[in-house]
Each structure stands twice: as C-alpha cells, then as structure tokens.
C-alpha cells in the first residue's frame, strides 16, 4: 500500500494513539522516532487508566439534543456523572457552546455516530490482531460487553442511542431476569435487564498494552527518545525537524499524538483547535473477592467496570475544568459508591488505587486526523475523547496513509482540522 519512499517520521506522544501510529509506520517501511518524555503507557496518559472497552457501541457523542437543559444541574449537582466546575465556566464557555451546538439536532448526532462507527466498528478484530502481532494475544479479551440497566424502562430511556447503533449495524442480545443472574452473578438484584454486545472486547491492562505496542515498534526498528516536543523547525514552509526540550530532532514528517497536550503543538502550526479535557477518574479495588465474567457498564453509574491487574476498576465521570486544575477526588469516591451499590459483595471494600486522566476532547466528538495548516508534512492524530483506545488501530492506518501519500482506508474529511478554522 505504501509508495516505498522511506521518510524519517517523528511521532510525538507515546499514548495508545502514538504507539499504534509508530508501529504502523514502521511496518509501512518508515524510519520512526517516537518522542515521549514519560514512560509509554504511564499514569500521565489517558491511555493508562481508561475503562478498557474496545467497543463498537461507542459511537454516540456526549452532546445530544436536549442536553443544554441539563447544564444548570451539571453546575450544581456534585454527584452526577457530568459536572462543570464553576470557576472554569467563563473559560470553557466557547467550547461548551460548540459542544451543545454539535448535538442540537438528531441529524447532527446521526452523522457523528456514523462517522465514529467507521473508526470503531471493527475495533475488537483490529486490537486482537495487534495484540497477537505484539506476541501479547492475552491482552485482548473477546467475551463481549454487558450494558446493565435497572429495568427495561431504563433501557427504553436510551432508545435513541441504541437505535442509532442498530442503524449502523450493531447487533446485541437482550437479557432479563434469571438469565442476567447467570451471566453476571455479582450484579445487584436491582439490575434486571441488560444488553450483551457480543462483538465487544476489552483490554486486560491498558497501560501495559501501550508499553507492549511501543516495545514492539522498537523491536521492529523505531527509536524511542525520552524528551518533550515543544515546536517545529520549519524551513521555507517545509518541516525540517521537531523542536524538543533537548534540541531539534531532524525529520521529514511528524505526527502530533500528544493527547490533551496536542493543542499547543497544533497552535504552533497556526491551527487553533478547541481541545479541552473531559477529566475522568478511576478507582481500583485490589482484592474485590468478585471476578466479573466480562466488563460491565451499569447505566446509572455511567462507568466501566473491568478486571485489571490492579483489581476491579471502575472508570468514568466527566468533569469539565482546566487540564491543570487540582483533581477533585470526590469524583473517585462517587465511582466507589456506585461500585458498592452495583455489586453488594463490595459493601465493605475500599479503593486501593485512584487516578485522574484527561480525555482529549473536541466539541463535536470527532478526533482531529489530518494535515496541519501551516505545514503539510505534519499530521495530527488527537482529540479522540471517549474512544481513543477503541479507535487507535484505525487512526494509525489513516495516519500511515497520510504520511505515505496513499489512499486513506475511509473517508477522512470529517476529521480535518480545517473544520475549526
């Protein structure tokens, strides 16, 4: 598929997006240098602490019609799944306005869902192939994903989301009553209905998975440089190198995959991207004395519950504030309370680990994958919000086509940075 020219590509950021891009580019015959100041897949990355869902169902944007009516509640209720910190409201208003507008009509939400489907519908297959090619097949579990509801009426309240999923081709099995007890004995009896997305999968250890993909890229020829990118060296309108805190790295192409920190790098090239952190949290219970048979998403908690090497993890919450604002650990406590309610056997358990991370989110719920305005040799790959783990392999394939000047595997026009210009 590639045009055989070998370029030196600097990939900025070693989260799941940068890791997958680095490996795909090496496999496409490019010389790759991965720039990452921290441990790839370490706690600084959203890719470390996420919910581990590899979900073809993750196509519904956060912003849907009628959401604006709930904003006052988000500002005042500290226990809901989405909160906005008052102090940051003035700075967030432009992003928030675009966010609400992006979901103001069903037509817009339907369009976003079908575009996201093109990124994630075959994510379990792609990750299974990727993990196997890194000699770590056990890192992807293909047991399906269980979306649990108190009852069928609660499920019906999400009819729009599920009908959009069905329109795009997702299938699932509805499970009620006794069968639900058999499928997931740990669930509280207050859940009497569930949807089993059998095609869904999960990652057993998201942080270690990133590290494994990076290690594979290095084994296949990439170089990992532990430094921080802070700009670009452009000569006569062409990329000559990536500026880092330890000097300039000469290269002919660059990929910006620095998660929430991509905004300033894009800014250096003349692209003002409205990228904000949808801050999320996780808690883990090291010895929960229950083992979920597959990941669960309880509808009322809006969190993913998944077994990891750290124990049972609950990941979720959306908190809009500044990326550098102090964590509000009450949000982790909310996850813990939900866990205790969802699985009665956890009633006396406490969290043994807690974490905050930054979903790199655009207001329209779509990532930015495309060439930079100020320099066509730089390709953006960030802004994946809630779906970055699931969408990483497909993103890497698109990035590789842009770097190698070959045909993109899907229509990429909706991901262009120019939509914000």
Site residues, ligand FAD (CB under 6 A): 12-18, 35-38, 44-47, 50-53, 228-229, 257-259, 261, 280, 282, 304, 315-316, 357, 359-360, 382, 384-390
Task: Output the smallest distance, CB 53 to ligand FAD, in A.
Answer: 3
Structural contact between residues 285 and 351, judged by C-beta atoms closer than 8 angstroms: yes
Nearest to ligand FAD of 33, 192 (CB atom)? 33
Q: Which is nearer to ligand FAD, 81 or 280 (CB)?
A: 280
Is 232 within 8 Å of 239 (Cβ atoms)? yes
Is 130 strand, coil or helix? helix
101 Rama sector, left if φ>0, alpha if ψ -120 to 50, beta otherwise = alpha
Residue closer to ligand FAD, measured from CB, 192 or 319? 319
CB of 147 to ligand FAD, least distance (A): 13
Cβ at position 69, least distance to ligand FAD in Å: 25
Length of the chain measured in residues: 421
Give the DSSP H or E segment for 108. Answer: helix 106-120
**CB of 198 vs ligand FAD, minimal distance in Å:** 17
Beta carbon nearer to ligand FAD, 46 or 398: 46
- Give the integer Cα–Cα distance in Å for 356 and 104: 29
CA–CA dist 22, 219 (Å, integer):
12
Nearer to ligand FAD, 192 or 336 (CB): 336
CB of 153 to ligand FAD, least distance (A): 26
Smaller CB separation from ligand FAD, 99 or 382: 382
Give the shortest CB-277-to-ligand FAD separation in angstroms. Answer: 9
Distance CA 386, CA 316 (A): 10
Smallest gap from Cβ 123 to ligand FAD, in A, equals 8
Are 164 and 109 in contact by the 8 Å Cβ rule? The answer is yes
Spatial distance between the Cα atoms of 4 and 283, rounded to a whole number of angstroms = 46
Q: What is the DSSP string of 221-283?
A: T-EEE---EEEEEEETTEEEEEEETTEEEE-SEEEE--GGGHHHHHHTTT-----EEEEEEEE
Choice between 311 and 316, CB closer to ligand FAD: 316
């Amino acid at each position: 598929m590639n045009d055989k020219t070998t370029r030196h590509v600097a990939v900025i950021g070693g989260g799941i997006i940068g890791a997958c891009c680095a490996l795909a580019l090496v496999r496409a015959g490019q010389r790759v240098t991965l720039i990452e100041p921290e441990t790839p897949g370490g706690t600084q990355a959203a890719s470390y602490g996420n919910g581990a869902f590899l979900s073809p169902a993750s196509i519904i944007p956060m912003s849907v019609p009628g959401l604006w009516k709930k904003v006052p509640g988000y500002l005042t209720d500290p226990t809901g799944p989405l909160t906005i910190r008052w102090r940051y409201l003035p700075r967030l208003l432009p992003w928030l306005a675009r966010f609400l507008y992006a979901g103001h009509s069903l037509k817009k939400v339907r369009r976003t869902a079908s575009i996201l489907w093109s990124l994630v519908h075959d994510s379990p297959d792609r990750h299974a192939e990727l993990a196997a090619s890194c000699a770590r097949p056990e890192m992807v579990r293909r047991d399906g994903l269980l979306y649990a509801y108190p009852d069928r009426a609660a499920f019906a309240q999400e009819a729009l989301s599920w009908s959009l999923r069905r329109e795009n081709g997702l299938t699932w099995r509805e499970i009620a009553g006794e069968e639900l007890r058999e499928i997931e004995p740990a669930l509280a009896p207050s859940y009497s209905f569930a949807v089993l997305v059998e095609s869904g999968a999960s990652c057993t250890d998201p942080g270690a998975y990133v590290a494994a993909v990076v290690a594979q890229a290095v084994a296949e020829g990439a170089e990992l440089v532990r430094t921080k990118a802070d700009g670009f060296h452009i000569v006569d309108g062409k990329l000559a190198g990536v500026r880092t805190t330890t000097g300039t790295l000469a290269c002919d192409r660059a990929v910006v995959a620095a998660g929430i920190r991509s905004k300033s790098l894009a800014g250096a090239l003349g692209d003002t991207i409205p990228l904000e952190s949808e801050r999320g949290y996780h808690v883990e219970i090291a010895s929960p004395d229950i083992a979920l048979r597959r990941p669960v998403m309880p509808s009322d908690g809006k969190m993913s519950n998944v077994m990891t090497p750290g124990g049972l993890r609950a990941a979720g919450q959306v908190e809009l504030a500044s990326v550098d604002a102090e964590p509000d650990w009450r949000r982790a406590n909310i996850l813990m309370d939900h866990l205790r309610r969802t699985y009665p056997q956890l009633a006396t358990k406490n969290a043994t680990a807690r974490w905050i991370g930054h979903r790199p989110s655009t207001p329209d719920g779509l990532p930015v994958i495309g060439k930079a305005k100020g320099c066509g040799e730089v390709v953006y790959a960030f802004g994946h919000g809630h779906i970055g783990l699931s969408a990483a392999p497909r993103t890497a394939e698109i990035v590789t086509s842009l770097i190698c000047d070959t045909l993109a595997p899907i229509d990429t026009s909706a991901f262009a940075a120019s939509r914000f210009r």
